[in-house]
Amino acid sequence: MSDPQCAARIFVARHGEAEYETDVLADRGGSLTGLGRKQAADLADALSGERVSHVYVSSMSRSVQTGEIVAARLGVGVTVREALREFSVGSYAGQPVEPDPFGVTYTRWLAGDLAARVDGGESGAEVVDRLSAVLQEVADAHRGEAVLVISHGGVMCTALPQLASNLSASHSAGRTLANCAVVRLDVDDDGWLARSWAGEPVPT
pLDDT at 30 over 80: yes
Percent of the chain scored above 70 by pLDDT?
A: 94
What pLDDT score does 28 carry?
85
Quickly list DSSP for 73-133: HHT-EEEE-GGGSPPP-GGGTTSBSSS-TTHHHHHHHHTT-TT-B-TTS-BHHHHHHHHHH
- A 10 A CB-CB count for 46 gives 15
Which of the 8 DSSP states describes residue 24?
Answer: B
pLDDT at 168 over 80: no
Confidence of residue 22 (pLDDT cuts 50, 70, 90): confident
What pLDDT score does 5 carry?
64
- Domains along the chain with CATH numbers: 8-201 (3.40.50.1240)
CA–CA separation, 21 vs 116, rounded Å? 29
Q: What is the pLDDT of residues 61-112, one digit of tens each?
A: 999 999 999 999 999 999 999 999 999 999 999 999 889 999 999 999 998 8
CA–CA separation, 187 vs 122, rounded Å? 26
pLDDT at 131 over 80: yes
How many residues can be counted in the chain? 204
